[in-house]
């Protein structure tokens, strides 16, 4: 008998404070390891989710924002992977720091439902609609609308860092702040 196994972890907020930017900044390769609010190092021992070269394959996302029902924001999930400094192609000795390569994993438009999440914070609302814009077309989005919480499951593609970026673009009926609950999981 083949028994499926799964490992799941509790939800955590992607950022320590709400995202309030009104546009996105282009992500380009960098010799500086990305850090700060919204950047999750999957291999950081404080999370207890990855060791050496093992990491979970998937991440579940539950976006939320502030202000009111039916307000919107954009969310991007960026994956960052380091190069192996021992094998740089130009033949020069490495400086000792990897180059961090970004890749867009998922871009979505998020719409708040009338789902009060005051347990998270005052005037917080869970999303009831997630509309795919770009990235992994195999991302599984549960989009119930009707004021039931929406979520997405995203393949991490082996990325070492995951960055959550939000935009309260004026082209939308924008809210006052945005964030996302996340949790990794694996399934055999």
pLDDT band for position 180 (cuts 50, 70, 90): very high
pLDDT at 146: 87
62: helix, coil or strand? Answer: strand
Q: Is the predicted pLDDT of residue 159 greater than 80, yes or no?
A: yes
What single DSSP character describes residue 156?
-
Per the model's pLDDT, the better-predicted residue between 26 and 8 turns out to be 26
Task: Please name the residue that has the structure tokens 């929406």.
Answer: 150
Give me the mean pLDDT over the 87-111 stretch.
Answer: 80
Which range, of 18-32, 57-71, 76-90, averages the lowest pLDDT? 76-90
Cα-based torsion angle of the residue sequence 18, 23, 29, 30 in order, rounded to the nearest 10 degrees: -60
- Whether the CB-CB separation of 66 and 135 falls below 8 Å is answered with no
d(CA 75, CA 126) in angstroms, rounded, equals 14
d(CA 31, CA 54) in angstroms, rounded, equals 24
Which range, of 2-11, 93-102, 144-153, averages the lowest pLDDT? 2-11
- Whether the CB-CB separation of 108 and 140 falls below 8 Å is answered with no
- Choose among 85, 101, 98, 91: nearest CA to 28: 101
pLDDT at 87: 57
Per the model's pLDDT, the better-predicted residue between 110 and 1 turns out to be 110
User: Tens digit of pLDDT for each residue in 32-58?
Assistant: 999 999 999 998 888 778 877 788 899
- Residue 143: which residues within 8 A CB-CB, separation 6 or more? 128, 129, 130, 131, 150
Q: Is the predicted pLDDT of residue 113 greater than 80, yes or no?
A: yes
For residue 75, what are the CA distances in angstroms to 130, 164, 177?
Answer: 10, 7, 11
């Amino acid at each position: 008998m083949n028994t499926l196994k799964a490992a799941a972890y509790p939800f955590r907020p992607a950022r320590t404070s709400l995202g309030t930017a009104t546009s996105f900044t282009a992500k380009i390769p960098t010799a500086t390891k990305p850090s700060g609010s919204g950047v999750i190092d999957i291999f950081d021992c404080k999370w207890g989710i990855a060791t050496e070269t093992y990491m979970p394959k998937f991440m579940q996302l539950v976006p939320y924002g502030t202000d009111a029902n039916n307000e919107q924001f954009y969310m991007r999930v960026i994956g960052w992977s380091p190069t192996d400094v021992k094998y740089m192609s130009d033949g020069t000795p490495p400086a000792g720091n990897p180059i961090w390569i970004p890749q867009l994993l998922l871009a979505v438009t998020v719409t708040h439902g009338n789902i009060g999440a005051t347990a998270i914070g005052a005037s917080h609302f869970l999303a009831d609609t997630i509309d795919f814009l770009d990235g992994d077309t195999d991302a599984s989005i549960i989009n119930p609308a009707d004021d039931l919480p929406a979520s997405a499951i995203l393949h991490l593609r082996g990325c070492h860092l995951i960055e959550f970026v939000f935009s309260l673009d004026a082209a939308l009926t924008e809210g006052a702040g945005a964030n996302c609950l996340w949790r990794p999981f694996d399934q055999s």
